[in-house]
Structure 1
Amino acid sequence: MRPARALIDLDALRHNYRLARRLGGGKALAVVKADAYGHGAVACARALEAEADGFGVACIEEALELRAAGIRAPILLMEGFFDAAELALVVEHDLWTAVASPWQVEAVAAFSTTATLRIWLKLDSGMHRLGLSADEFRAAHAQLSALPQVGPMVLMTHFARADELDCGRTAEQVALFEQACAGLAGETSLCNSPALLGWPQLHSDWVRPGLMLYGADPLYPQASPHACQLRPVMTLQSQVIAVRELAVGEPLGYGARFVATRSTRVGVVAMGYADGYPQFAPNGTPVLIDGVPGELIGRVSMDMLTVDLTDHPHAGHGSVVTLWGTAPTISELAPRCGTSAYRLPCSLKRAARVYLPL
């Protein structure tokens, strides 16, 4: 069997959830959209269900996967429903739904049911993606509150630049949200992961941790007193499957991006961009070789990459190479590779997931 694998530390996941909940000071919706950012939505939801206040997914397909797996905790459709016909499934599977567009408000008003819909009404406070304008928001709240099929609502917004600690945009969004919500009944939901870690003065009834659940720091390289408490959930590993010797002047791999300046011992590793490792990781990108710091050399190919074993005389065929985890973290790795810590685990494919503790 190909040795590429992603070790998923479920104890670390629970630790990070508890940290997010503690920082938020209220209830926390664990965001497991996009297959839990590549970590496996069902396994992660099962690991958190005993203590999570609810789960957040992007769409109804993701919610139905969790329900089919036996997850009974509340699940929020964070993008809401995409067609009015989906409201029947929202009721059937006891889901919560965001309402962020005027047409969704009208669809809820036209939907006849004896069930009670739990709606998260979304204000566009400056993200300018999904969400109602302030006037639409207040009008929708009045309209929906008068409907017998709508229960108590949660009032929410989403920050566009909370990962920029020196930017005034977050404070502007908070002020607009507070103004739009003045006098309206309902719990509130403000903070995503960057806001939880970087804006401790913000408070709401619900928080929505995503990336931080998986142990990555969305504020990196900015300093955060809380980010150091995060524990990486995923460790991506593979093994050396062949060893080569390069003479001075010999090129390595596609495009001869690496040319040996000394006699170089090369380890070929079963891991490539088809597995989700960044294709354009540069020479010198850090890895661990049997737990010892080492470096990637040469261009990453679809199924393989190469590491420098010259200063690792005891490493060879079968040596374990760690691509990310506690070192390097995905937060450290991503900017070196011109990508983001969000994208790295979401890109994971083909590598077998192994859940710990077993």
Structure 2
Amino acid sequence: MTPQARPLSARIHLDAILHNYRLAKRAAPAARALAIIKANAYGHGAVRVGQALAPEADGFAVACVAEALELRESGIRNRVLLLEGAFSPDEIVLADRAGLALVVHCQQQLDWVLAARPERPLECWIKIDSGMHRVGFAPGDFRAAHARLRGCPHVAAVHAMTHFARADEPRHPYTANQVEVFDGALQGLQLPCSLANSAAILAWPQTHRDWVRPGIMLYGASPFAEAVARAAGLRPAMTLESALISIRDLAPGEPVGYGGRFVCDRPMRVGVVAVGYADGYPRHAKDGTPVAVNGQLTRVIGRVSMDMITVDLTGLDNAGLGDRVELWGRRVAAADVARWSDTIAYQLFTSISRRVPLVYASG
């Protein structure tokens, strides 16, 4: 006998991802765009997302060789950039065989590239630390690194790139300061540049340059805490949905869930939904976190447990067992769930566990 599947799934709207990629291209019409599909395409499935975007994408970017090889093995032949570069000289051999582009962000990686003996010339992207202060060459060290790569016979192309720390704050001057630092490091050099992440694509047009790198915006979540006009056109790409598996009526004063965090203040109808923190739903979701039952907005009440949450069905008299519950998607914004859970949409998407099936839809 085939076991009955849980009613939980993450429905992935590939048309929305394609729409969002096109929106990035319209926002930066003079630039090419690397679609960021690291971390399994932010939980949306890197292979299926990559295959859907491949006919139009100028290229892809991932975190590591393993993610890149998964794309190559699926038949994707677009440019693929390793955002963290190589972690060992052996990975440069793998990158060479798979035709991958490499970020070079430190002296050790530069030495590995210079000492390599690839079968074909390498494409390298030098990262400059313009103020993020994670990885990258100091601005004063960039020109020497660039000169060494340009003089290397097995390096075919050199790009320059940086990453922004506060581009999601459209009125903060730090992004403009980072641009100034980056431009100062490149003064007098003519080479392709990449600065803009999703937030910069949407709010900082002066950063668009030759290549942009849409990430979270591909998946329909705004990178901003406030309303930004261009972000209004994004379409959610994941609908996390489950169903009601229990309903009960509780009297005033009755507690709900672990620790009795929520106590009924009136006669209440309470539903149980098959989803929990083991599926990737945020454990720290507060009472009041929005959900939608049959398209009607309501709220989480009580602590999130490993496999279940409890929701307020008071006033939703037509709600019954098996009815659809949207945890986030087109009715409930992932960003709203994230705010109620003291986290960000990035973490919601990438925390979806392997026991949640990804169901792909073209519409």
Q: Are the counterparts in 1 of residues 38 and 46 from structure 2 also a CA contact under 8 Å?
A: yes
- 2:263 equivalent in structure 1: 259
- 1:117 equivalent in structure 2: 122
- The percent identity for this pair of structures is 52
- 1:234 equivalent in structure 2: 238
- 1:347 equivalent in structure 2: 351
**Partner AA of 2:245 in structure 1:** I
Q: Are the counterparts in 1 of residues 200 and 208 from structure 2 also a CA contact under 8 Å?
A: no
Secondary structure, counterpart of 1:154 in structure 2: strand
- 2:166 equivalent in structure 1: 161
Among 98, 114, 136, the residue aligned to 1:131: 136
Deviation by residue 1:24-43 (Cα, 9 ceiling, x = unmatched): 22100000000000000001
- 2:175 equivalent in structure 1: 170
For residue 70 of structure 1, report the CA deviation from its aligned partner.
Answer: 1.1
Deviation by residue 1:140-190 (Cα, 9 ceiling, x = unmatched): 110110111001211100011111122111111101111111222321101
Secondary structure, counterpart of 2:157 in structure 1: coil
For residue 248 of structure 1, report the CA deviation from its aligned partner.
Answer: 1.5
Comparing 229-238 with 321-330, greater Cα deviation is found at 321-330
**What is the CA–CA distance in structure 1 between the aligned matches of 2:209 and 2:91, rounded to whole Å?**
29
Q: Are the counterparts in 1 of residues 290 and 336 from structure 2 also a CA contact under 8 Å?
A: no
**What is the CA–CA distance in structure 1 between the aligned matches of 2:190 and 2:158, rounded to whole Å?**
8
**What is the CA–CA distance in structure 1 between the aligned matches of 2:84 and 2:118, rounded to whole Å?**
21
**What is the CA–CA distance in structure 2 between the aligned matches of 1:17 and 1:355, rounded to whole Å?**
17
Among 290, 293, 298, the residue aligned to 2:297: 293
**What is the CA–CA distance in structure 1 between the aligned matches of 2:45 and 2:60, rounded to whole Å?**
13
- 2:214 equivalent in structure 1: 209
- 2:276 equivalent in structure 1: 272
- Stretches (4+) displaced over 6 A: none
**Unaligned 5+ residue runs, structure 2?**
none
**What is the CA–CA distance in structure 2 between the aligned matches of 1:163 and 1:140, rounded to whole Å?**
30
**Unaligned 5+ residue runs, structure 1?**
none
Deviation by residue 1:313-342 (Cα, 9 ceiling, x = unmatched): 110100111010122211122111101111
1:302 paired to 2:326 = no
Among 99, 116, 141, the residue aligned to 2:104: 99
Q: Are the counterparts in 2 of residues 116 and 151 from structure 1 also a CA contact under 8 Å?
A: yes
**What is the CA–CA distance in structure 1 between the aligned matches of 2:127 and 2:252, rounded to whole Å?**
61
1:150 paired to 2:155 = yes
**Partner AA of 2:99 in structure 1:** D
Cα RMSD, aligned residues only = 1.1
**Partner AA of 2:251 in structure 1:** A
Q: Are the counterparts in 2 of residues 153 and 185 from structure 1 also a CA contact under 8 Å?
A: no
Secondary structure, counterpart of 2:103 in structure 1: strand
**Partner AA of 2:277 in structure 1:** Y
Secondary structure, counterpart of 1:172 in structure 2: helix
For residue 245 of structure 1, report the CA deviation from its aligned partner.
Answer: 1.6
Aligned residues: 357
Deviation by residue 1:49-74 (Cα, 9 ceiling, x = unmatched): 00000100000010011111111111
For residue 268 of structure 1, report the CA deviation from its aligned partner.
Answer: 0.7
For residue 284 of structure 1, report the CA deviation from its aligned partner.
Answer: 1.4
**What is the CA–CA distance in structure 1 between the aligned matches of 2:35 and 2:255, rounded to whole Å?**
47
Q: Are the counterparts in 1 of residues 196 and 212 from structure 2 also a CA contact under 8 Å?
A: yes
Among 32, 41, 59, the residue aligned to 2:46: 41
Secondary structure, counterpart of 1:342 in structure 2: helix
Among 78, 87, 91, the residue aligned to 1:82: 87
Q: Are the counterparts in 2 of residues 156 and 190 from structure 1 also a CA contact under 8 Å?
A: yes
- 1:330 equivalent in structure 2: 334
1:248 paired to 2:258 = no
Deviation by residue 1:238-297 (Cα, 9 ceiling, x = unmatched): 000111121111111101011111221111100001111111111111111001111111
Q: TM-score, normalised by structure 1?
A: 0.98
Secondary structure, counterpart of 1:344 in structure 2: helix
For residue 354 of structure 1, report the CA deviation from its aligned partner.
Answer: 0.6
Secondary structure, counterpart of 2:277 in structure 1: coil
1:315 paired to 2:319 = yes
In structure 2, relative to structure 1, the CA distance for the partners of 1:65 and 1:114 (3 Å cut) is closer
Q: Are the counterparts in 2 of residues 152 and 186 from structure 1 also a CA contact under 8 Å?
A: no
Secondary structure, counterpart of 1:45 in structure 2: helix
Secondary structure, counterpart of 1:315 in structure 2: coil
Q: Are the counterparts in 2 of residues 32 and 45 from structure 1 also a CA contact under 8 Å?
A: yes
